[in-house]
Amino acid sequence: MAKVQENGAVEKPNKTPWDVSKALKNVRQHLGKGDKERKFSIDIAPAPSVTVNSSSLIGKVAVVTGSSRSTGAAIAKALGEQGANVVVNYLRSEQEASKVVQAVRAQGRGAVAIRADLSTVDGARHLVDESMRAFGKIDILVLNAGIMKHKPLAEIDEASFDAHMNFNVKVPLFLVKEAASYLPSPGGRVIFFSSSMTSSSAIVSNMLCFLASKGAIEQVARVLSKDLGNKGITVNTVSPGPLDTAQFREGKSQKWIDFFSKQSPSNRLGLPEDVAPLVAFLASPAAQWINGQNMRVNGGSVI
């Protein structure tokens, strides 16, 4: 360690600084493979790679839930642009999914469309199994698919509450659980989706179930960032503001759309393409030290 001398000068260490990566490698070699190593490695985060290759995702495999349309489609293309091979998940929009696949392939990457209903945990398992079958690995998991229905308190029923909790919380969590053992350690990436509205004063009362479920997934992400962070896998949340997508427009009058547009100093709704670059960055090696964070991307509509 450097010492400060009486005259204020810093005395340089005469020894090579302790190299953590080298030390961990030595420890692992010493312990060898098997149960002994596995038990020991739980307490030690894998040594991070010190070379960060800008934002290149070449050779990586990304699974993006709900990527046949809207935000998910923009994310799939942005990841493809950075070099990733992409699994495009869809349920009903087969043709749109196929167009996204073509767009990613046109970037020179591999892409497949996988139909999986993510309102069930079985659907999540199916998506992980088929992604592994297609590419043999998963490096990046983007839990983009989500539902947002509008009901004021008086109209909330158990079915609506359960649907939000199931689709926005339970299935993404179990999807991560299914995929966790395949994610590279270190280097895996998990990116959840919430909403800037969870921290906005301008919330509207009929968003109760949606916001309750997004608040819950933010907490899931916080806890997982410790669990998986121990293995060098980062877990972050992206929280968009109002985005001009089918989901956002559903059931809203022009008056409400104008209200949400005016929340932004740019006086417009966000676009899927405003959000996708942040996801591509979080998926990149350059973001290896960003973990457990909730990043709002909303053009200043919620500050």
Ligand X SMILES: NC(=O)c1ccc[n+]([C@@H]2O[C@H](COP(=O)([O-])OP(=O)(O)OC[C@H]3O[C@@H](n4cnc5c(N)ncnc54)[C@H](OP(=O)(O)O)[C@@H]3O)[C@@H](O)[C@H]2O)c1
- Stretch in the footprint of ligand X (CB under 6 A) among 28-36, 40-48, 87-95, 281-289: 87-95
Q: Which of 191, 233 has the CB closer to ligand X?
A: 191
Residue 251 identity: G
Q: Which member of 57, 63, 68, 170 binds ligand X (CB under 6 A)? A: 68
Of 132, 146, 134, give the one whose Cα is nearest residue 178. 132
Q: Which member of 246, 253, 255, 289 binds ligand X (CB under 6 A)? A: 246
Q: What is the CA radius of gyration of the chain?
A: 22
Q: Which of 71, 291 has the CB closer to ligand X?
A: 71
Please report where in the chains the tokens 């985060």 appear, as a residue: 45
Q: Which residue is nearest to ligand X (CB)?
A: 146
The contact mask relative to ligand X for 108-137 (x = CB under 6 A, - = no) is: ---------xxx------------------
State yes or no: residue 245 binds ligand X (CB under 6 A). Answer: yes
Q: Which of 164, 231 has the CB closer to ligand X?
A: 164
Of 92, 218, 80, 212, give the one whose Cα is nearest residue 143. 218
Q: What's the full length of the chain, in residues?
A: 303
Q: Which of 37, 117 has the CB closer to ligand X?
A: 117
Q: How far apart are CA 189 and CA 284, in angstroms?
A: 8
Q: Which member of 82, 85, 93, 263 binds ligand X (CB under 6 A)? A: 93
> Residue 207: CA atoms inside 13 Å, Cβ hemisphere, count?
20
Buried-state track 201-229, b at ≥16 Cβ within 10 A, e below 16: eeeeeebbbbbbbbbbbbebbeebbeebe
- Stretch in the footprint of ligand X (CB under 6 A) among 10-18, 77-85, 180-188, 239-247: 239-247
State yes or no: residue 69 binds ligand X (CB under 6 A). Answer: yes
Q: Which member of 25, 38, 39, 92 binds ligand X (CB under 6 A)? A: 92
The contact mask relative to ligand X for 178-197 (x = CB under 6 A, - = no) is: ---------------x-x--
In the complex, least distance from residue 205 CB atom to ligand X, rounded to whole angstroms: 17
What Å distances lie between residue 296 and 149, 185, 222, 278, 303, CA to CA?
Answer: 21, 27, 15, 10, 9
Helix (H) or strand (E) holding 100: helix 94-106
Residues near ligand X, by CB under 6 A: 66-72, 89-93, 117-119, 144-146, 148, 193, 195, 240, 242-243, 245-248
